[in-house]
């Protein structure tokens, strides 16, 4: 029988902020972006109708490799035939690499700008079978503007359609070093998602006993998105003087328990 929410929260409090025990995890896949982008794992995110994807582009200026980092840029658009005022770069593992269980971490440096909205997140690998929001969305990191915090959130039919975002809480914020690299992580479990920043536990979302539909759809394979989003209702207006803006991705690592 699954534990009650109260018991789960008590256990989480006792666990404190420590990261995984040494030797508990085995690295099973990584990309450190040395030399080239692994096209067997990654594709450029195409433009699409959701607000976050309305500026996505395959323009080469939105992508780069520098000093062992993947560079994703948001730039002003100088193509008069394209109605988008800005272009943004992003990669995803859709149709190529899935993550189910284990621990996923991304080390990145986020350059601030008014309107900047870099994100690291997960969507269902079988997206056609599990459309949003029923399949769930796992936001490992979202940062707005020049913030010194990041948002870590989950979305589902339960939180979004039914409006049950507080039972249990479906998101939290965590402090970052705004001008430096930070490591953003999530442990993907059958009964909980545990988020971290720089190895410090920051937020957890548990499976609970409820008669409401779709509370924990997260025990399935997901694909990873890493993108330099720009502008939108949540982040606010873009300051043209602060564009171009970049996010630098040092590495992505995926672990499983030994």
Residue 18 has pLDDT above 80, yes or no: no
Buried b (16+ CB within 10 A) or exposed e, 221-258: ebbbbbbbbbbbeebeebeeebbbbbbbbbbbbbbeee
Q: What is the pLDDT of residues 23-57, one digit of tens each?
A: 899 999 999 999 999 999 999 999 999 999 999 99
pLDDT of residue 21: 56
> Residue 188 is part of a domain; what is its CATH number?
2.60.120.200
In whole angstroms, how far apart are CA 43 and each of 97, 214, 216?
11, 30, 28
Q: Residue 201 in contact with residue 172, Cβ under 8 Å?
A: no
Residue 194 has pLDDT above 80, yes or no: yes
pLDDT of residue 22: 58
Mean pLDDT in the chain? Answer: 93
> What is the count of structural domains for the chain?
1
Domain that holds residue 110: 5-257
Residue 2 has pLDDT above 60, yes or no: no
Q: What is the pLDDT of residues 211-256, one digit of tens each?
A: 999 999 999 999 999 999 999 999 999 999 999 999 999 999 999 9
Backbone dihedral angles phi then psi of residue 159, each to the nearest 5 degrees? -80, -40
State mean pLDDT over 123-140.
Answer: 98
48: closest CA among 251, 229, 195?
A: 229
Residue 14 has pLDDT above 50, yes or no: no
Residue 137 has pLDDT above 50, yes or no: yes
109: closest CA among 173, 184, 34, 36?
A: 184
Q: Residue 102 in contact with residue 255, Cβ under 8 Å?
A: yes
């Amino acid at each position: 029988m699954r534990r009650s929410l109260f018991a789960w929260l008590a256990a989480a409090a006792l666990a404190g902020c420590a990261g995984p025990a040494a030797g508990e995890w085995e690295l099973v896949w990584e990309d450190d972006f040395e030399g080239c982008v692994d096209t067997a794992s990654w594709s450029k995110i195409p433009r699409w109708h959701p607000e976050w994807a309305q500026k996505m582009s395959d323009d080469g200026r939105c992508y780069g490799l520098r000093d062992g980092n993947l560079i994703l840029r948001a730039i002003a658009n100088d193509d008069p035939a394209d109605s988008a005022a800005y272009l943004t770069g992003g990669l995803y593992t859709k149709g190529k690499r899935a993550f189910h269980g284990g621990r996923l971490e991304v080390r990145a440096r986020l350059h601030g700008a008014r309107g900047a909205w870099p994100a690291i997140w997960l969507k269902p690998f079988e997206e056609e079978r599990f459309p949003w929001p029923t399949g769930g969305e796992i936001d490992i990191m979202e940062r707005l503007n020049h913030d010194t915090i990041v948002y870590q959130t989950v979305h589902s039919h339960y939180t979004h359609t039914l409006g049950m975002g507080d039972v249990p809480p479906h998101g939290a914020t965590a402090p970052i070093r705004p001008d430096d690299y930070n490591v953003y992580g999530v442990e993907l479990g059958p009964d909980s998602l545990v988020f971290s920043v720089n190895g410090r536990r920051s937020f957890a979302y548990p499976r609970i006993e409820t008669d409401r539909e779709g509370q924990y759809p997260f025990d399935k394979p997901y694909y990873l998105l890493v993108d330099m989003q720009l502008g939108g209702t949540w982040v606010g207006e873009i300051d043209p003087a602060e564009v171009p803006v970049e996010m630098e991705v040092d590495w992505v690592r995926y672990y499983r328990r030994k």
